[in-house]
Amino acid sequence: MTRSRWIPGAVGVVVLLILWEILGRTVFADAKSVPPPTAILGQYGRDGWEFYWNNARTTLREAAWGWLWGNGIAIVLAVAFVQVPLVERALLQLALASYCLPIVAIGTVLVVLFSGDKPKIIIAALSVLFTTLISMVVGLRSADRTSLDLIRAYGGGSWTQLWRVRLRASLPSLFAGLRIAAPAAMLGAIIGEYLGAENGLGVAMINAQQAFLVERTWGIALVATALSGAAYGLTALAGRLLTPWAARS
C-alpha cells in the first residue's frame, strides 16, 4: 500500500521532466530562458561537486543557525504568552510586525549594524519566528481541558499543567510549524546573501545571473529547492517519530 502511494507521484515527476525537456528544446529554445533538464545536468558536470557544495554549506549553516534561534525564541515566547497573558498582549503585535516587515528593507539595516554571517542568520530567524510562535501557541492551548482540570483538582498550578499536559499536547502543532520553518529559513538565508555576502547559494545565483549563465542559475535554484525539500522532509520525519499518537491523514 505504501509503495502504491508513491507510484502516481513518481509518474508525475517523470512526465513533468519529459514535458520540460521538450519545451526547453522547442518553445524556449530561442529565448534560452528555460533550459532543458539535460542542459542543467551538463552544467552540473562542468561546474563540479565542490562548486555547489561549498556554496550550499555556507547557506545551510546560516539557515540552520537562523532556524535554531528563531524557533527557540518562538517557543519561549509561546510559553510566556500562555503562562502570562499580559506578555502576549504586549509582545504579540511586535511579533506580527516583525513578520510583516519587508525583508529587503530590514536586511539593509542589519547589514549596516552587524558583520559576518549575523545579518543572514537574523533574517533566517525572522523568517521562521512568527510561524512557529503561532503554531506553538495553538498547540499549547489545544491541551485537553479534562486533564488540565484534573491537575488543578490535585493542587497543581499552571506550570504543572504546562509540564504535564500542555507541552506534550503542543508537539503535533509545533512540528507542523517547524516543517514550514525549515524551507523558510533557507529562503531567509538566501535573501540575506543577496544583500551582501562572500559566498553562498544566493551569491552564486547572483553571479550566474550577471554572467548570463542560465543553466547554472537554474542548477543553483534546483539545489536550493532540493535542500529546502530535504529539510522539510527530515522535520516531518522527526515529527512523525516523536509524535506517534498524533492523528494521521
Q: What is the pLDDT of residues 22-74, one digit of tens each?
A: 988 888 888 778 899 999 999 999 999 999 999 999 999 999 999 999 999 99
Task: Give the SS3 label for residue 198.
Answer: coil
pLDDT score, position 247: 58
Neighbouring CB atoms inside 10 A of 15's CB total 10
Mean pLDDT score, 134-143? 93
Nearest to 41 by CA among 222, 202, 190, 211: 222
pLDDT score, position 173: 94
Mean pLDDT score, 90-105? 82
Least confident of 19-23, 80-84, 104-108, 204-208: 104-108
Mean pLDDT score, 202-214? 91
Nearest to 184 by CA among 118, 77, 103: 103
pLDDT score, position 232: 94
Give me 31's grid cell. Answer: 529565448
pLDDT score, position 249: 42
pLDDT score, position 13: 85
Residue 77 has pLDDT above 70, yes or no: yes
d(CA 124, CA 92): 19
pLDDT score, position 122: 93
Residue 1 has pLDDT above 50, yes or no: no
Domains within the chain, CATH numbers bracketed: 54-240 (1.10.3720.10)
Q: What mean pLDDT value characterizes the chain?
A: 89
Mean pLDDT score, 235-241? 92
Contact between 83 and 142 under an 8 Å Cβ cutoff? The reply is: no
pLDDT score, position 27: 82
pLDDT score, position 155: 85
pLDDT category at 12 given cuts 50, 70, 90 is confident
Nearest to 187 by CA among 249, 112, 126, 118: 126
| CB-side neighbour CA atoms (13 Å) of 114 | 16
Nearest to 141 by CA among 53, 219, 210, 81: 81
Residue 2 has pLDDT above 70, yes or no: no
pLDDT score, position 224: 94
Q: What are phi and psi of 196, to 5 degrees?
A: 145, 115
